[in-house]
A and B are shown apart, each in its own frame.
Chain A
Amino acid sequence: MKQKTTLALFIFVIVFAACSKPERSNRTNIIIGISSDIQSLSPLYSFVFDEGTISELLFLSLVQHDWDEAEGTVKTEAMLAKNWQWEKDGSSLKIYLREDAFWSDGIPCTAEDVVFSFDVYSDPVVQSRAYGSFEKFNTDSDGRIIIGETFEVLNPYELIIKFKNNSNATLFDIDYSILPKHILEKVPREEFKRDKFNHEPVTNGAFRLERWEKELGIILAANPKSILYREGMIEQIIFKIIPDYNNRILQLLNNEIDLIEEVKPEDVGKIRDKEFLRLGFVKGREYDYIGWNNIDGLVYNRNGVRQPHNLFGDRSVRQALSMALNRSEILDNYLLGFGEIGLGPVPGIFKQEYNTDLIRFDYDLEAARKLLNDAGWKDSNGDGYIDKDGIEFKFDLQVPVGNPRRKYAAEIFYSDLKKIGIEMRVNFIDMGLFIDGLFEKKYDAWMVGWVTQVPINLAVQWRSDLENTPFNFISYKNEKVDSLLSLLEMNIDKHQENEILKKIQYHTNIDQPVTFLYWLDNVVAYHSRLQGLKFSPLGVVIKCWQWRIN
């Protein structure tokens, strides 16, 4: 009897194992592991990174941008626009569209779709991800593009876009995915957020949606009718949702998935040990920083006066703090070298814009002590903490919960500052609460991350006009920086723009309004059968129609 039971159990397991093997990619498809499901496939609502990546595979833009590694800059290539011609003064742009681009329902993609798309993106009722980003266009008081003044459709495949005078518009300003007018014009604008287009879109990109299994994965199939389709293109791309990081790593090691991003440094060794896996490194444009509130937030909130902060209002104090923080220790011991010490708001990957003459403010406790001493901060009562005018150098550092790297860094920095007589109390708080506090200028100091945009836009964070620059959380003010930022908005050439950006970096470096901690690398692990990957700071998967399977 026992033998029969054992045999039955054995057969049961074998049959099960034979029936359903773990999923595996095959010769014609690839599987990319992502951490969470997306909410929309529409480029209107691609708020998170994965949504943006997937929607760019489904929809064409007028132009596409790629990273030029050799030059360290972004280059523009044709996409839906086969050609373009700027007016000499840069005030308008004539665009020639491809005549062989079609929507997935067979309708041609024309200039009418382009005009409609810009109207929808800028419509406040739609609340698209791009709303409020059309400063270089002629807009009404609500930020909506004035179509009559901006677009002139010459024929279905030619149109002129007119920009605001002296706006210094570039091709980045027209880099938006184009939407199908014939589908969306039937939908009331206030219903766009909930329309089925978000889940079953009519597309024109390199891939089309084959299937979306909620919370399981998104399957995209190559679109043979697309202008981007080429022989040998990957036939199917599956974005598999695996919320748990450890499970993503296990599936990669188990040859169940082909690519994951944001690999933790401690897992790099395991991946190197597998012969069939490769590693790619995307040099970061994301950094961690410690923000020092340059002004007294309480006074500012009470009467709008920018009174220098009693601890961090002095530039030399901020320089001293930067020198007292051992950033290299976190870079070496936690990030295991997958990053770079930050010196300013522009990363080194932008070779033309990056200022190579910035001061490093390396870890030097003696120099930090001297700077603080010169600024009047001394331990006058012998309690171990420095003080000035009766105020002891003690403050709270706010850190949003849930990031082990920042938790580790906070612990190191706590002991670093204690060595020079400063008490830094660390508070871990909820992200929502933290962000509210930032906007309300409630905090003295905080540690969080930021991303440098492409194209570089420093005004969003460093302009002193606090009313119109809500992301200037530290309330930084430097009139030279303000005038340099204004110059960037004028009609200037690329060389002048780069020189101005270098000057702004000089000021933010010398002022140390924040302590730039480190640029973070994105470590990508992928199967060796994938060919043609580019480790671009714009994203690894963005042009995967150029990949091939070996």
Chain B
Amino acid sequence: MRIPIIYLYIQRILASIVILFLVVSLIFIITRLQPGDASSSFISPRISPKLIEQIKSDYKTESGIAKQYFAFVTNFIQGDFGISFSYRKPVIEVIKNYLPFTIIFGIVTFLFQLIVSFFLAVISVKTRGTFFDRIIKKSNIVLYSTPAFVTGLFFLLIFSLQLKIFPSSGLSSLDIYQKSWGGKIIDYIFHLTLPVLTLSLTLIPIYFKLLRDNLDNLLDAAFIVNLRSMGMKENIILFKHVIPNSLPPLISSAGIDFGFLLSGALITEIIFGLPGMGRLTVGAIFANDYPLILGCCFLASAFMILSNLLADIIRGMIDRRSIKGMLE
């Protein structure tokens, strides 16, 4: 069994690399075929037409798309995405400034979402049919239907403008470099509380619903009724038999969402002025900054594929039947 599993994972990794390459190639072709170029961001009455002409000729390569693609692939294999037009720096260097925040923010938000939705679902299912259960379910609908920008602005108004507890923008205070390590950590926590809450509230209702429905169905399943009739305690049934069996669908869904989170969270980043990949990617698209678009898209695709792979592995570890299914 072990060798086929390793073989399966190698196969998945190889397939992921091929998918990644295809995605990046597709994005390369789309960006090159679309009209407009990076010079449009320089058009202004303050700039002489001579300079515009020169910048335009710099951005428009004379060689055909096939040659450009070949050059791109050669550089891509060497890990070189070229120079960003708008930042005038290598793409890798630009991304390095945004990636650490995105990863940390993504992981913290993701864990927060999972933990909160898990506890809410367990409490809700344990208090099935009660007033508390109904309240959780109703508020879930409200949260699900509220867009992130509304939640974000609401939090800003309440916690920043009215209560003056949390800062209203940025990843940290501007004088963070003068603070001690402890002060720095508190400063980051303070700045990230509202963004994490804003972003989490978009996915908590989905995870809650998924988990709550699974738990609900499993609690009425025949094997659980059987265990109950054998006199097993409710808590043991819940934690040992119901919860582990309810997790695989959640993990599959969370795998996709985690990939999205690591690609950036545009709305939250804009509202709270955070330096994330979402803002970087959209800025690159608006500026027609092809090398940067490709760099960002490559990372987004890589995160998506990787998080899916990770989700499959975890699912396999929890429920070996899923691996068996894949092998068959």
Q: Which A residues are within 8 Å of any B CB, using their own CB?
A: 13, 16-17, 19-23, 39-40, 45, 47, 124, 127, 129-133, 143, 193-194, 198, 211, 213-217, 219, 238, 240-244, 246-247, 250-251, 253-254, 256, 430-433, 435-436, 450-453, 457, 460-461, 468-471
A20-B187, A127-B55, A247-B273 are contacts. A132–B49 as well, Cβ < 8 Å?
yes
Q: What distance in Å separates the Cβ of A352 from its nearest Cβ neighbour in chain B?
A: 21
Residue of B nearest to A214 (CB): B97
What's the A-B contact tally at a CB cutoff of 8 Å? 158
Choice from B46, B97, B156 contacting A250 with Cβ under 8 Å: B156
CA distance A214 to B176 in the complex (A): 13
Residue of A nearest to B189 (CB): A16
Q: Which residues of the partner chain A approach B271 to less than 8 Å between Cβ atoms?
A: 244, 246-247
Name 27 A/B residue pairs within 8 A (Cβ), A-sorted. Answer: A16-B190, A19-B186, A22-B160, A22-B167, A127-B55, A129-B47, A129-B51, A131-B51, A194-B88, A198-B88, A216-B172, A216-B273, A240-B170, A242-B168, A242-B273, A246-B271, A247-B169, A247-B271, A247-B272, A254-B164, A432-B35, A432-B36, A432-B40, A435-B43, A450-B45, A470-B49, A471-B45
CA distance A250 to B177 in the complex (A): 26
A131-B54, A253-B161 are contacts. A213–B190 as well, Cβ < 8 Å?
no
Contact with A along B130-174 (1 / 0, CB 8 A): 000000000000000000000001001100110011111111111
A433 B35 Cβ-Cβ under 8 A? yes
A253-B161, A430-B36 are contacts. A20–B51 as well, Cβ < 8 Å?
no
A39 B45 Cβ-Cβ under 8 A? no
- Extra contacts, 9 of them, besides A193-B88, A433-B36 (Cβ < 8 A), are A20-B187, A127-B51, A131-B50, A132-B47, A133-B48, A247-B156, A251-B169, A254-B160, A254-B168
Q: Which of B246-298 contact A (CB under 8 A)?
A: 269-275, 279, 286, 288
Q: Which of B184-212 contact A (CB under 8 A)?
A: 186-187, 189-190
A470 B165 Cβ-Cβ under 8 A? no
CA distance A251 to B37 in the complex (A): 36
Choice from B52, B87, B174 contacting A217 with Cβ under 8 Å: B174
Q: What distance in Å separates the Cβ of B101 from its nearest Cβ neighbour in chain A?
A: 9
A124 B54 Cβ-Cβ under 8 A? yes
CA distance A240 to B272 in the complex (A): 12
A240 B161 Cβ-Cβ under 8 A? no
B190 A19 Cβ-Cβ under 8 A? yes
Q: Which residues of the partner chain B approach A471 to less than 8 Å between Cβ atoms?
A: 45, 49
Q: Which residues of the partner chain B approach A129 to less than 8 Å between Cβ atoms?
A: 46-47, 51
Q: Which B residues are within 8 Å of any A CB, using their own CB?
A: 34-37, 40, 42-55, 58, 83, 86-89, 97-98, 153, 156-157, 160-161, 164-174, 176-177, 183, 186-187, 189-190, 269-275, 279, 286, 288
Residue of A nearest to B48 (CB): A132
A19-B190, A253-B161 are contacts. A435–B169 as well, Cβ < 8 Å?
no
Choice from B44, B86, B157 contacting A39 with Cβ under 8 Å: B86
A22 B164 Cβ-Cβ under 8 A? yes
A243 B279 Cβ-Cβ under 8 A? yes
Q: What distance in Å separates the Cβ of A129 from its nearest Cβ neighbour in chain B?
A: 6
A461 B45 Cβ-Cβ under 8 A? yes
A213 B51 Cβ-Cβ under 8 A? no
CA distance A217 to B175 in the complex (A): 10
Q: Which residues of the partner chain B approach A451 to less than 8 Å between Cβ atoms?
A: 44-46
B273 A436 Cβ-Cβ under 8 A? no
B50 A16 Cβ-Cβ under 8 A? no
B171 A250 Cβ-Cβ under 8 A? no
CA distance A127 to B50 in the complex (A): 10
A243 B270 Cβ-Cβ under 8 A? yes
A431 B49 Cβ-Cβ under 8 A? no
CA distance A247 to B98 in the complex (A): 21
Residue of A nearest to B164 (CB): A22
A132 B187 Cβ-Cβ under 8 A? no
User: What are the 9 tightest A-B residue pairs by CB atom distance, in nearest-first order?
Assistant: A432-B36, A132-B50, A132-B48, A215-B275, A20-B190, A435-B40, A432-B40, A193-B88, A131-B51
Residue of B nearest to A286 (CB): B45
Q: Which residues of the partner chain B approach A251 to less than 8 Å between Cβ atoms?
A: 168-169
Choice from B35, B177, B190 contacting A211 with Cβ under 8 Å: B177
Residue of A nearest to B168 (CB): A251
Q: Which residues of the partner chain B approach A433 to less than 8 Å between Cβ atoms?
A: 34-36
Q: What distance in Å separates the Cβ of B293 from its nearest Cβ neighbour in chain A?
A: 12
CA distance A193 to B164 in the complex (A): 42
Q: Which residues of the partner chain A approach B168 to less than 8 Å between Cβ atoms?
A: 22, 242, 247, 250-251, 254, 256
Q: Which residues of the partner chain A approach B173 to less than 8 Å between Cβ atoms?
A: 20, 23
Q: Which residues of the partner chain A approach B156 to less than 8 Å between Cβ atoms?
A: 247, 250
B167 A23 Cβ-Cβ under 8 A? yes
CA distance A505 to B172 in the complex (A): 51
